[in-house]
Structure 1
Amino acid sequence: MSSPGPGDLSRTPLIALVHWANKALQTDMVLFAHRAGHQGVKQAHNAVFATLHSTPQRTTDMAAAMGITRQSMGEIVRDMVALGILDMVPDPHDGRAKLVGYSEEGLRVAGDGFAHIRDLEQRFVEELGAEDYETARRVLQRVTEMLDADAAADV
């Protein structure tokens, strides 16, 4: 008996598995934030946490990195500024632009989140085994590279 192959409708497509894994990870991050006392964190905020690290950035650059509109990222940023997680300051290189960075509270929220990610990754290693976990990471990275190359070729 042969194992199911690509396009076999009797098994869940990879795109669905990746979507559900992403959704579960994003939900987990929000639930963790709430348990850690950061009640205002929403799932949409993950778009900022995924792109903003230690250096302030323009909202347009963050939106492009996440593949969402500038308007959507702007709305998320404004919400996070209102919650005290982010600060906006003038861009010293362009007076018309603003840079987004973490506030002191935002550094605590992001720091807690990054610590949780490290804990999650350790849990994955323990649950899956180091070899399978590294294989999963390599496969997902390669899928991303393949599809990004295809998209770049179409431009």
Structure 2
Amino acid sequence: MSRGQPERRLDRKPLIALVERANRALQTDMVRRAQADGHTEVKMAHNSVFGTLHAEGARAADMAVRAGITRQSMGEVIRDMVGLDLLEMRSDPGDGRAKVVTYSEHGLAVASDGFRYLGQLERRFAEEFGEHEYEVVRDVLARLVDVLDRFAEEEPQVSPSAGGRVG
């Protein structure tokens, strides 16, 4: 029995490939800029923390959910960043068994530089594409996430790793 080829339009890239490529390019650019600014310890894996850690701190498990990675993976990145003096771990005042991740003084400076650069980058995008077109891109991406979340709620749950139905 032969397998057929998956149906695919050859005249344009799939949306998922465009979004993934844009995400990778943005993350690579953020790391490149951090390193150019003298923060040579910053790695691609650290983006999962910089993108999910609020100034007041957060639990690693919550950060992992927001980043879309496992708790174990987030824990590895956090331990690496603690070792690089980018993060600190403190006892959670509401739950003595849990830890809250916060930026160290050095980590806060690195994150602040990154967010400042991100603002500059967004202004450059607005100049490149025009304010209106750039706002449309941002709006469509936000709505795309909302629509996909709604679709996920409407369908039976499927385990992404097992490829089988959960509920």
Same fold (TM over 0.5): yes
Cα deviation code 1:67-118 (max 9, x no counterpart): 1100000000000000000000001111111000000000100000000000
Corresponding position of 1:74: 75
Q: TM-score, normalised by structure 1?
A: 0.93
Asked if 1:52 corresponds to 2:53, the answer is yes
User: Once the 2 structures are TM-superposed, how far is the Cα of residue 14 of structure 1 from its aligned partner?
Assistant: 1.2
Give the alignment of 1:16-55 within 5 angstroms.
16-55=17-56
The structure, 1 or 2, with the larger RCO (C-alpha pairs under 8 Å, 6+ apart) is 1
User: Once the 2 structures are TM-superposed, how far is the Cα of residue 149 of structure 1 from its aligned partner?
Assistant: 1.1
Q: Which amino acid aligns with 1:136?
A: V
Between the aligned residues of both structures, percent identity stands at 56
CA distance in 2, matches of 1:139, 1:128: 15
SS class of match (2:139) = helix
What is the RMSD computed on CA atoms of the aligned residues?
1.0
User: Once the 2 structures are TM-superposed, how far is the Cα of residue 148 of structure 1 from its aligned partner?
Assistant: 1.0
User: Once the 2 structures are TM-superposed, how far is the Cα of residue 58 of structure 1 from its aligned partner?
Assistant: 0.4
User: Once the 2 structures are TM-superposed, how far is the Cα of residue 152 of structure 1 from its aligned partner?
Assistant: 2.2
Give the alignment of 1:106-117 within 5 angstroms.
106-117=107-118
Q: Which amino acid aligns with 1:146?
A: V
Instruction: State the 4+ residue runs in structure 1 displaced beyond 3 angstroms.
Output: none
Q: TM-score, normalised by structure 2?
A: 0.87
Question: Please, which runs of 5 or more residues in structure 1 have no aligned partner?
Answer: 1-6
Cα deviation code 1:106-153 (max 9, x no counterpart): 010000000000000000001000111011011111111110111122
CA distance in 1, matches of 2:45, 2:101: 16
Question: Please, which runs of 5 or more residues in structure 2 have no aligned partner?
Answer: 1-7, 158-167
Corresponding position of 1:121: 122
Q: Which amino acid aligns with 1:27?
A: T
| Number of residue pairs aligned between Structure 1 and Structure 2 | 149
| Deviating more after overlay: 8-17 vs 19-28 | 8-17
CA distance in 2, matches of 1:121, 1:112: 14
CA distance in 1, matches of 2:84, 2:152: 37
User: Once the 2 structures are TM-superposed, how far is the Cα of residue 55 of structure 1 from its aligned partner?
Assistant: 1.3
User: Once the 2 structures are TM-superposed, how far is the Cα of residue 13 of structure 1 from its aligned partner?
Assistant: 1.1
Give the alignment of 1:62-101 within 5 angstroms.
62-101=63-102
User: Once the 2 structures are TM-superposed, how far is the Cα of residue 15 of structure 1 from its aligned partner?
Assistant: 0.9
Higher helix share: 1
Task: State which structure, 1 or 2, has the greater radius of gyration over its C-alpha atoms.
Answer: 2
Q: Which amino acid aligns with 1:106?
A: G
